[in-house]
């Protein structure tokens, strides 16, 4: 079940992305804005509560997502909760190859908007709208654009340096199964942690998590729809990443967050 919203609460955060050209490359690109600010869930909640323009239905929905983010064990998909009992699920997120190395933001936004609406503007148009530079894109502008185009509101979940894997799992599956929204993780992949489905080295990248497959509980995997085509070499942009590897790639990034 997907919830719709009518106005986006301003989230003052930014992320930039730039993927390396190939897994064999010895150099990586640092496309992350060192001045970006990731608001806490408490700050996001305060902003929602203080906003007297949004209607009560939307406010209730946003608060629900924030509260679930604060307590991932309360997610409908959490162990012991029976509303969501699937071992796998996939959202039909379309693949658009990013047109430039620093266009993971515009391409991921395009994939997300196209998934919700069935159409989207060009990556160049999106890049202009979200202020993409050769360094990368601002996640706040990305989320604002998605909201303005689709009325779907993303919450930013920040992770500690050593989170439980269920913290990510519960929210990823909640987003896919209940809200019908493909999560957007920020990842970093180095030569050290490249494994279990991760296909190239990058200091900062965003993509869509479009599904999960937990049929083998000892090797839980997530499908990603990755716009960096020349990095993964998969024609439809879709491949699977081991759950632990995905978590480690998020935690490896200095800001350690994903949007869901």
Domain boundary assignment for the chain? 18-259
How does pLDDT run across 52-97, given as a tens digit for each residue? 888 899 899 999 999 999 999 999 877 666 455 689 999 999 999 9
pTM attached to this predicted model: 0.87
DSSP bridge pairs for 186: 206
DSSP bridge pairs for 258: 157, 185
CATH 3.30.70.20 fits 18-259, yes or no: no
Question: Which helix (H) or strand (E) segment is 94 a member of?
Answer: none
Task: Please give the pLDDT value at position 55.
Answer: 84
What is the biggest distance separating any 2 CA atoms in the chain, rounded to whole angstroms?
A: 52
Query: What's the mean per-residue pLDDT of the chain?
Result: 85
| pLDDT top residue among 61 and 139 | 61
Task: Please give the pLDDT value at position 4.
Answer: 44
- Contacting residues for 69 by C-beta, under 8 A, at least 6 apart: 41, 155, 157, 171, 260
């Amino acid at each position: 079940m997907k919830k719709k919203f009518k106005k986006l609460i301003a989230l003052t955060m930014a992320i930039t992305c730039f993927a390396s050209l190939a897994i064999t490359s010895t150099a990586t690109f640092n496309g992350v804005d060192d001045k970006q600010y990731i608001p806490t869930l408490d700050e996001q909640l305060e902003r929602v509560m203080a906003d007297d323009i949004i209607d009560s239905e939307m406010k209730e929905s946003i608060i629900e997502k924030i509260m679930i983010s604060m307590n991932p064990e309360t997610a409908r998909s959490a162990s012991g909760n029976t509303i969501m009992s699937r071992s796998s699920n996939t959202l039909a997120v379309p693949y658009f190859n990013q047109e430039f190395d620093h266009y993971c933001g515009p391409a991921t936004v395009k994939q997300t908007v196209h998934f919700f609406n069935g159409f989207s503007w060009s990556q160049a148009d999106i890049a202009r709208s979200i202020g993409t530079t050769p360094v990368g894109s601002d996640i706040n502008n990305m989320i604002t654009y998605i909201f303005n185009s689709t009325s779907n509101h993303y919450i930013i979940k920040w992770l500690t340096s050593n989170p439980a894997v269920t913290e990510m799992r519960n929210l990823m599956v909640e987003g896919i199964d209940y809200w019908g929204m493909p999560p957007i993780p920020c990842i970093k992949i180095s030569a050290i942690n490249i494994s279990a489905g991760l296909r190239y080295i990058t200091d900062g990248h965003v993509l869509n998590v479009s599904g999960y497959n937990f049929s083998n509980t000892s090797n839980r995997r997530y499908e990603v729809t990755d716009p960096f085509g020349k990095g993964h070499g998969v024609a439809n942009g879709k491949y699977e990443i081991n759950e632990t590897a995905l978590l480690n790639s998020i935690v490896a990034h200095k800001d350690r967050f994903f949007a869901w």
